[in-house]
Amino acid sequence: IRGKTEVLSRLPATRAVFANKEGQFVAHGELFRQIALAKTLRRVATEGAAHMYTGDWAQAFVDAVRGEGGKITAEDLARYNVVWSKPLRTTYRNREICTIAAPMIGGRLLLESLNLLELADLARLGHYSESAEACYWLIQCTRMPYMLESRNWLQMQLLLPGVSLNPTKRVSKENARQVWKRMQQ
């Protein structure tokens, strides 16, 4: 909050969420409640998603966006079809990590990077700020999933035989092992 006060104070509605009764931004250790959000979530729980797409909240959203120069309409929200997908999962250092699947790709790329970083075991090389080798592998492990995403299927099959480009399989530990093996050649 402290680093974003300029942005958070631009609109009165946003400032009201993040500032206390005295108008000061919430400080470390201070109780932070989002009462309006709680009310909205209660209405979604009782009225369903329609509250967000055709109800009062939808109209308030359209008014706020259009008030800032946006082009969304109530009809846009009413016509929206939610895309449900099974979450993607992996583990990193014995913790389960979940993210949204298609149509978003950023979460999948994060999971792929974490799988590669786990295999790289950078701690054995020292901290990346002090070890050129650790820094190199950190960059490579976070960059590789983006490279896989940006190249076409045929190129990647030629460059990385045995590596799956299937979005769901790409987050598997086995696929990460195949990619890691190729990265070290």
Beta strands in 40-123 (DSSP E): 88-92, 95-99
The residues that bridge with 92 in the sheet, in sequence order, are 95
Strands (E), 13-161: 88-92, 95-99
Identify how many contiguous H helices and E strands the chain contains and give both numbers.
10, 2
Q: Taking 70 as the threshold, does the pLDDT of residue 103 lie above it?
A: no
Residue 115 falls in which region: left (phi positive, over 0), alpha (psi -120 to 50) or beta: alpha
State the pLDDT at residue 116: 97
Residue 55 contacts residue 62 (beta carbons within 8 Å): no
Q: Which amino acid is at 69?
A: G
Question: What are the tokens at 73?
Answer: 């309409």
Residue at 24: amino acid letter: Q
The fraction of the chain above a pLDDT of 90, given in percent, is 55
The Cα–Cα gap between 140 and 153 comes to: 20
Residue with tokens 């987050």: 171
Q: b or e along 30-41 (b: 16 or more beta carbons within 10 Å of the residue's beta carbon)?
A: eeeeeeeeeebe
pTM above 0.85, yes or no: no
Please check the confidence at residue 96 and state whether its pLDDT lies above 90.
yes
User: Measured between alpha carbons, how far is 60 from 69 in angstroms, rounded to an integer?
Assistant: 14
Of 77, 79, 89, nearest to 114 by C-alpha is: 89
Q: Which residues pair with 88 in a beta bridge?
A: 99
Report for 29-33, 69-73, 102-106: range of highest mean pLDDT: 69-73
Higher pLDDT, 65 or 148: 65
Q: Is 95 helix (H, G, I), strand (E, B) or coil?
A: strand
